[in-house]
Structure 1
Amino acid sequence: MKKNVLFVAVLAIVLMFSNEITAQKFAKLDKSPMDAAAYPASYKESNKMVKVIYSRPQLKGRTVEELAPSGKVWRTGANEAVEITFYKDVTFGGEAVKAGKYTLFTIPGEKEWTVILSTAENVWGSYFYNESEDVVRVMGTVSKSNELVEAFSIAFDGKDTNATMYLGFGNVIVTVPVKG
């Protein structure tokens, strides 16, 4: 009899808590999922120079110009503006930048993109972009890719403390040197 009462009590508690656990609503996968890129890129290297967290919009039949209009400040991805962290002082596009966390915006252009590091924090899109929060503005060189980059991407490549940040979308590749 004691075993039956104990069993019923444990079962009631489990059912009570399982309803609370399964009642939780989780968001579906975002259409422009977050991603991260770092330099050095290898997970085996923990001494990073830079890390970028960004969301990845997809073209889905649209043009880069539709999603990132020429001459207008762009959040450089989707959803929140790009968060870039430098773990040491660097030269970004030829300009000295102190170690720290920044928001990265861009202004697309045909031959060059203006790449902006800002002190703004926790920014959704570029709706509230404020030029007075700019730390540096540098020019990123534009080249054309033979392969279509369907989902906006950021990558780093380099050797030792000399890296290049690549922004790729459609057939547009923007490069910015980063030196540690």
Structure 2
Amino acid sequence: MKRVNLAVIIFTILLVSTTHTFSQKWKKMDASPMDAATFPDNYRISDKVLKVVYGRPQLKGRDLTKLAPLDKVWRTGANEAAEITFYKDVLFGGKEVKSGTYSLFTIPSAEDWIVILSTARNVWGHYSYKQEEDVVRVVGAVSSSTENIEAFSMLFDEDMTLKMGWANTVISVPITLMGLKE
């Protein structure tokens, strides 16, 4: 009987110490959580054309130009640079882009925004951005939103146009499948 009790005690000590040793320290939710948008956006359709994954910074009373400075390369979101994956060859803003994954950068300006696809991958922010890694640069059409967009957001409309919105600014880039008229 004493052997059984001793075995139970040893097992309990090992279990408790192992659980403590392997316990996780879970991080709090990021202030700018990751999000994704796809086309088509219906979850029942698995044959996607494209997907963008990006961080969602929030204005929190700050000015858009402080967070996405004019005439400077911006990571297009928060934290890691946004990444866009094309599962099929497309025309992005009228320029040919082969299927693959690219980082998405922008250069905001008062009149329009330059939207850049880059071969750089898995990069933090825009700090290591190199223009020689650009695949294409296109001009994104700028329009105003009647509502304030607190958290930076991306979506694809029914025509597969990429829409990026923040504050009262919306940037649009048309996307079409190769072989289809833009």
Asked if TM exceeds 0.5, the reply is yes
Letter in 2 for 1:14: L
The alpha-carbon deviation at position 30 of structure 1 amounts to 1.3
Measured in 1, the distance between the counterparts of 2:126 and 2:5 equals 62
Letter in 2 for 1:38: T
TM-score by length of 1: 0.93
Is 1:5 the counterpart of 2:6? The answer is yes
Letter in 2 for 1:166: K
Equivalent position to 1:164, from 158, 161, 166? 161
Mapping for residues 109-124 of structure 1, pairs under 5 Å:
109-124=109-124
Equivalent position to 1:178, from 172, 175, 178? 175
TM-score by length of 2: 0.92
Q: How many residues align?
A: 176
Task: Point out 4+ residue stretches in structure 1 off by more than 6 angstroms.
Answer: none
* Secondary structure in structure 2 of the residue aligned to 1:155: strand
Counterpart position of 2:106: 106
Letter in 1 for 2:10: A
Letter in 2 for 1:60: K
* Secondary structure in structure 2 of the residue aligned to 1:163: coil
**Identity percentage over the alignment?**
53
Q: CA RMSD in A?
A: 1.2
Is 1:49 the counterpart of 2:46? The answer is no
Counterpart position of 2:150: 150
Is 1:17 the counterpart of 2:18? The answer is yes
Greater strand content: 1
Counterpart position of 2:127: 127
Q: Report the more deviating stretch, 5-14 or 80-89.
A: 5-14
The alpha-carbon deviation at position 42 of structure 1 amounts to 1.5
